[in-house]
Amino acid sequence: MRHVISALVQNQPGVLAQVAGMFAARGFNIDSLVVGRTENPDLSRMTIVAVGDDRVLEQVRKQLAKVIPVVKVRDFSGLSYVERDLMLVKIGAPAEKRPELAQLVELFRGSVVDVARATMTVQLSGTEDKLEAFIDLVRPYGIVELARTGTIAMQRGQQKHTREKNDSDE
């Protein structure tokens, strides 16, 4: 099963190596690993995507929580969450093909961030499936270069279903 795990860690040297080493020592391949600062400059958020047995990944999650620089760990399995990948892709785009490529980019809610004589660079964000679908569609034009961030994720905000009564409702 695919697991998206978020770890809030202290923003200090060696934490990334320590966490990646823990996964490697247990024989898990990390499909995606993204690290970035949070609203607190002392903390970074690591988003790790790994595929594996639920029971074994639960043990990895628990061991990850015991690593000293790790502040909080959350496995998004079973939770309602939002995930996104970011991709830059440079596509072969002679002048006569640009209008149809631009239309495809618009359909995927992407944006053209650079146009050169023979290429067009596109920025696109979304789920992994959405990015893969876009890649499949532009492959015939020729993919010159591609860079992806990997998955970032965040639990959805809690929605209140009850309405509080105020004085104007009476």
Report the number of distinct structural domains present in the chain: 2
Dist. CA 99–CA 105, nearest whole Å? 10
**Does the global pTM surpass 0.95?**
no
Statement to judge: residues 46 and 94 lie in one domain: no
**Position 115 in a domain:** yes
Dist. CA 129–CA 56, nearest whole Å? 26
The whole-chain average pLDDT of the chain stands at: 89
The domain spanning residue 8 has which CATH number?
3.30.70.260
Statement to judge: residues 93 and 109 lie in one domain: yes
Statement to judge: residues 126 and 60 lie in one domain: no
Statement to judge: residues 92 and 70 lie in one domain: no
Domain that holds residue 87: 82-154
Statement to judge: residues 121 and 72 lie in one domain: no
Statement to judge: residues 56 and 86 lie in one domain: no
- Tens digit of pLDDT per residue, the chain (170 long)? 888 999 999 999 999 898 888 888 877 788 899 999 999 999 999 999 988 888 877 888 888 888 878 899 998 988 899 999 999 999 999 999 999 999 999 999 999 999 999 999 999 999 999 999 999 999 999 999 999 999 999 999 986 654 444 444 43
Statement to judge: residues 10 and 60 lie in one domain: yes
What are residue 83's DSSP bridge partners? 153
Phi, psi of 158 (to 5 degrees): -75, 135
The domain spanning residue 123 has which CATH number?
3.30.70.1150
Backbone dihedral region for residue 84 (phi beyond 0: left; psi -120 to 50: alpha; all else: beta)? beta
Question: What's the pLDDT at 161?
Answer: 58
Dist. CA 166–CA 130, nearest whole Å? 44
- Rg of the Cα trace of the chain? 21
Q: Which residues contact 17 (CB under 8 A, 6 or more apart)?
A: none
What are residue 30's DSSP bridge partners? 50
**Position 163 in a domain:** no
Diameter over CA atoms, the chain: 67
- Dihedral of alpha carbons 33, 37, 42, 43, sign: negative
**Position 160 in a domain:** no
Statement to judge: residues 87 and 75 lie in one domain: no
